[in-house]
């Protein structure tokens, strides 16, 4: 399978199917119709990055956001907001805790 080289971030160029070599049109006919993105789940700065598989940018941006994390306070039976990476007990997303 021929896999095209992706451009650097910010260097993307919209390609129409007519601009592609014939062999790429036959192997991956829908790949270049619209660019697709996947979330890079960095805990402090998640970003939608261009990928060969994924979602349109609008869909990626709906879910690719920082999460609030918490740690359990078993004495009070509560969950306290904390900073992921700064506290070793801070391991759960708030919706889980």
Instruction: Please spell the DSSP secondary structure of the chain, one letter per residue.
Output: ---PPPPPTT------GGGS-HHHHHH-TTTTTS-EEEEE--SS--EEEEESSSB-HHHHHHH--PPPEEEEETTTTEEEEE-BTTBTT--EETTT-
pLDDT of residue 96: 82
Do residues 36 and 19 touch, judged by C-beta distance below 8 A? no
> In terms of domains, do 42 and 1 share one?
yes
In angstroms, the CA 60 to CA 28 distance is 22
Same domain as 2, residue 47: yes
23/42 same-domain check: yes
Same domain, 74 and 53: no
In this prediction, residue 29 carries a pLDDT of 47
My answer on whether 29 and 2 are in the same domain is yes
At 7 the pLDDT is: 57
Same domain, 55 and 91: no
Nearest Cα neighbor of 95 from 75, 69, 74, 76 is 69
Query: For the chain, how many structural domains are there in total?
Result: 2
- Shared-domain flag, residues 83 and 54: no
Structural domain range at position 96 = 67-97
20 and 38 belong to one structural domain? yes
Mean pLDDT for the chain overall: 78
One domain for residues 5 and 39: yes
- pLDDT of amino acid 56: 92
Question: What pLDDT is attached to residue 12?
Answer: 56
pLDDT less than 70: residues of the chain: 1-33
Structure confidence at residue 8 (pLDDT)? 63
């Amino acid at each position: 399978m021929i896999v095209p080289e992706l451009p650097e971030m910010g260097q993307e160029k919209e390609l129409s199917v007519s601009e592609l070599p014939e062999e790429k049109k036959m192997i991956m006919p829908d790949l270049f119709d619209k660019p697709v993105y996947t979330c890079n789940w960095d805990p402090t700065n998640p970003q939608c990055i261009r990928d060969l598989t994924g979602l349109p940018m609008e869909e990626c941006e709906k879910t690719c956001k920082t999460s609030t994390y918490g740690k359990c306070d078993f004495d009070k039976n509560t969950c306290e907001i904390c900073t992921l990476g700064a506290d070793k007990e801070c391991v759960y997303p708030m919706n889980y805790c």
